[in-house]
A and B are shown apart, each in its own frame.
Chain A
Amino acid sequence: MSAMRVDAKVVMLGKESVGKTSLVERYVHHRFLVGPYQNTIGAAFVAKPIQVAEKVITLGIWDTAGSERYEAMSRIYYRGARAAIVCYDLTDSSSFQRAKFWVNELQNCEEHCKIYLCGTKNDLIEADRSLRQIDYHDAQDFAEEIGAQHFETSSKTGRNVATLITFFLLFSILKTRDCFFFVSSEEAGVDLGQKKDSFFYSCCHNN
């Protein structure tokens, strides 16, 4: 089957040590960083081909980790991005302020960039509720105001990471022409709640 290619650039934004790299790791390699692995020099830019039905979507994920102090550079990275995953640490309120700054930048400069607001380190909150500094509903309200999807994730447990990527893939596909395959496929209609797991399975475990 000759698959149609869709290239999508994704940029990870967020304050230092909010967990951007761990999220990419979980996203791409289905694991949380614990052991040694090879070929790390390329890790800052991950090209991940994912097959969905008759399409191959190549996700070019740009992780800004390690270069956060280069403040003025962010536009170099998010220019032309299809999506931005703006991360904040659920246990660090200053990281949420910084996330708001990037959202503002993106809205001003990249109107076609879809924003995903992502609260990280949910496992810490589950272990100790008093650590939470960003209220779920406050973040949700902000996300609705800016028209973004909002998730609270844990790269350690994998919570919601699959949902995040599923939403993102759906968006990437639906944005391109002739691709209402979800709508027109046998069951007709997108029932995310039911289809999520099988969809995720098919797109991420088949290559």
Chain B
Amino acid sequence: MTSPADLSVVENEAGQALFDDLIAKDSRIEPRDWMPEAYRKTLIRQISQHAHSEIIGMQPESNWITRAPSLKRKAILMAKVQDEAGHGLYLYSAAQTLGITREEMMDQLIEGRARYSSIFNYTTPTWADMGAIGWLVDGAAICNQVPLCRASYGPYGRAMVRICKEESFHQRQGFEILLELMQGTEAQREMAQDAVNRWYWPSLMMFGPPDDQSPNSAQSMAWNIKRFSNDELRQRFVGMLVPQAEVLGVTLPDPALRFNEETGEYDMSEIDWTEFNEVLAGRGPANAERLRRRREAHENGAWVREAAHEYARKQAARAAAEVA
């Protein structure tokens, strides 16, 4: 007789074979397909962290909504922050298809058990930071995200397609803010350069540790979740920045940065990974503040969620009573 345990082994083997075949064909895995537990876990972690980053990422910019220099800039900034909320929601929905609930993800975030992109733990003291975030931070995000549109997990890839479409406006508006400042007064040019100085290195760190120190990358690439290595993407990003910096008239704060004809790549100074690790470990300029605000917003919104839930329950009960 075949025991249930034997059956599940047979099912797993058949599932694994189908999964391997789909990955080998560079096809997509959909929510109810069999998938290895490690694949599911990796995706839940990556997609929820990505969603958290979008949600936390609203804070550094919302900081400037009330003080944006014109009504137009205010409207643009609000649209951008609203997009980020939207991106977070697309991604939370995609993660939910893997079997984690929205509540679990929220709890992980506000209890400090989940990670989000370290970049959002930096502060935004000047208006030029809005420009530098759009140009450098969103630029790096796009570089990372465009290949994710082809991620092997269907719902993730589809969410990324939507996000990338919307993200390109973010980068352009940032570039435009910096360009306007660079065409302004001496003080405005200094402000723009100062923001670029502060955001350049953190934006390069967004691609993650160097390839030889990125233990999970190989598996993610084998699963077609990740398509290019951290260093490849970082090189690609710098290659795009250099001519853009010339148009802006800003200096990228790396004296060693130059194109190496022999390697076909940019030589650059060593990235300060100590700083990266410090911020990652929660000791960045604004880690505590970001989480505190997120927690407060969540707790202050509790009564709204409860009221909506209760209203829905009453309406459903009333409708049921009318039918009866």
On whether the two chains bind one another, the answer is: no
- B-side residues, CB < 8 A to A, are none
